[in-house]
């Protein structure tokens, strides 16, 4: 089952979601931020937006950023649980987006 980060109202009704799904493009570890049709992939090793599609925090609601940053360790733990062969902490020089 995909991990879905709980957001405070009104973010879900505005269309914001953060997920780690059961089958992701695996490198590097990341969470996917959704706003309706748009998505961003945020790298969990480096905290930057993965290309493609790229992007920046300027495009994202500040409340989403705040919630993601407050739950960073939880997101890393959930990724490690789903993808034990490609853990966030597996530092090998390839982690940056």
Partner 1 sequence: MAMRKAVRSQERLVILALGQPPSSRAKVRGVVYCRANSQIAETLRRSSALTCCVSMKQSATDEVLRNAHACQRHRGMTFGLITIEPPRPSSVPGLASCFRRMAGTAPNTKFLPMEELFDVLTAPAKEASNLFIAGVADMETRTLALTRGNMQTITVPFSMFRISGTGVKPDFSRLALTDYGHTVCLGKYEASSDAILYEADPEFRRKARKKLLAEEQTFGASLRRLRIQKGLGRSDFGSLSPKTIARLERSEVEKPRGRTLRMIADRLGVEPEEIESF
- CA–CA separation, 41 vs 31, rounded Å? 6
Contact flag: residue 21 with partner 1 (CB under 8 A)? yes
Smallest distance from partner 1 to CB 8, Å:
20
48: alpha, beta or left, given left = phi > 0 and alpha = psi -120 to 50? beta
Contact flag: residue 25 with partner 1 (CB under 8 A)? yes
Contact flag: residue 51 with partner 1 (CB under 8 A)? yes
Q: Which phi and psi angles does 16 have, rounded to 5°? A: -80, 140
- The maximal CA–CA distance of the chain, rounded, in angstroms, is 39
Whole-Å CA distances, 79 to 11, 21, 68, 96: 22, 9, 14, 16
Residue in 10, 39, 70, 74 binding partner 1, rule: CB under 8 A: 39
Smallest distance from partner 1 to CB 40, Å:
11
Contact flag: residue 14 with partner 1 (CB under 8 A)? no
Are the beta carbons of 33 and 16 closer than 8 angstroms?
A: yes
Contact flag: residue 76 with partner 1 (CB under 8 A)? no
State the residues that interact with partner 1 by CB under 8 A. Answer: 1-2, 17, 19, 21-27, 32, 34, 36-37, 39, 41, 51-52, 54, 81-86, 93-94
């Amino acid at each position: 089952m995909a991990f879905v980060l709980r957001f405070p109202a009104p973010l879900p009704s505005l269309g914001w979601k953060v997920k780690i799904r059961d089958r992701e493009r695996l490198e590097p570890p990341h969470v996917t931020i959704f706003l309706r049709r748009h998505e961003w992939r945020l790298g969990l090793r480096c905290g930057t937006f993965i290309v493609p599609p790229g992007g920046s925090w300027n495009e994202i609601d500040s409340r989403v950023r705040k919630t993601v940053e407050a739950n960073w360790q939880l997101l890393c733990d959930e990724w490690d649980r789903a993808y034990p062969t490609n853990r966030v902490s597996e530092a090998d020089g390839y982690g940056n987006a």
